[in-house]
Structure 1
């Protein structure tokens, strides 16, 4: 029994023959419109995902490098977490953005402009922290004046010496930091971006980050002992001289291939390997 081809089938056939009826053309247009709509929808979803990804990275740290070392994003200025680290050159960051307390030539302080990723504070934003005991510090500006708090609650840098009003107490709690002034108020900003100390409690507006460019002990390059300087053969000779008994005043070295020493140095087993080599010589007071 003959069956009339469906509209879609006729459309496909007509594409091959080069002929298209008005109805088939309408069907093909509908199919094309549907495909275009799906492509636009997929593109929109992909764009939305990218936007959400960028937003998530910004919320996590304002940068795609949020997982990297915090100090690398601030020009090598790392956040401190204890009072013992607050010494020497420091910068006080206000809030989460890279904006620092900035000294003005009139003795007042404001907040500087935001810095680009990878940049450290400007010279006028760098202070000198001096421990004064009891968990407190003094802060000196680049103009050589000590920071204090006035009765108006404004922070000024006009003192030539450290007095009671020029002492500050960094408060570290639950991974956050605030700076307590001598008037028992926390440092923040007023409506004109002047640095003031007028909050009795530390809220989001009083959160700061104290940064230093001092190298931490854990980041300092480890000193190489004198005995371990030079090539692996020289290192072995140095330790043989240090530990071997010279009964006949002759130094005895293991004549096996030193490639074992090179591999042991890479793997962190250099000392154990050298001890085994000296033990084979039966001439080390620590190898019997």
Structure 2
């Protein structure tokens, strides 16, 4: 019988044996687990480009591209010619990269999205040059030559179930890809419906997506209405002496009405002053 090989690792009395952990990066021959692990790690990085799941997440540096045929195109700004360009994304070595994994390779391909707090509309500003806003006039002509923002520089993003996004302007028309003479394409803003040419893929940085989730969470917590406890409220605003409280059906209705109208604190103080006055008269 062969002798058992004993471990030479030192062990101390009372030391618990450590359990062996399986490595997540060991795959089944297809590399799927390793790719999944790398993908999860990348999405946690603040600068990682991800797809938004809802309109409120579209903010900060933004990459906009369209799955055109035969090659996908992206919306970028040429600061030299001071105009919006639609150029093909597929470039030699990039042909093998899946469409939804594409990221901007130049600063000119990045737009900076800002929004007023609580507003459903956004503004898209160029990431290069002097920072001009994307705008659309009533004729559907799209440009980026204005340094100030107004109604024509406002866009309402609409996120669809397939992850694509449409941009609606102040005239309730959609931003779209339009083919012109010579096979060239340009942006227009006069489409009535959001079809294939009006839907874009949008990528944002993951830290802004998390920021949007935090804001939404705080907003929901702030909107939680406090419970209406007249007895407890009276002890705070109306009680005196030994903590005597005044409660009645008529006052209860009055307090409910005041709360709906947003003047609960004022009403409680008025009632307290009136009750004190009646007491000492």
TM-score (norm 2): 0.48
Q: Which has the larger radius of gyration?
A: 1
TM-score (norm 1): 0.46
Q: Structure 1 or 2: larger helix share?
A: 1
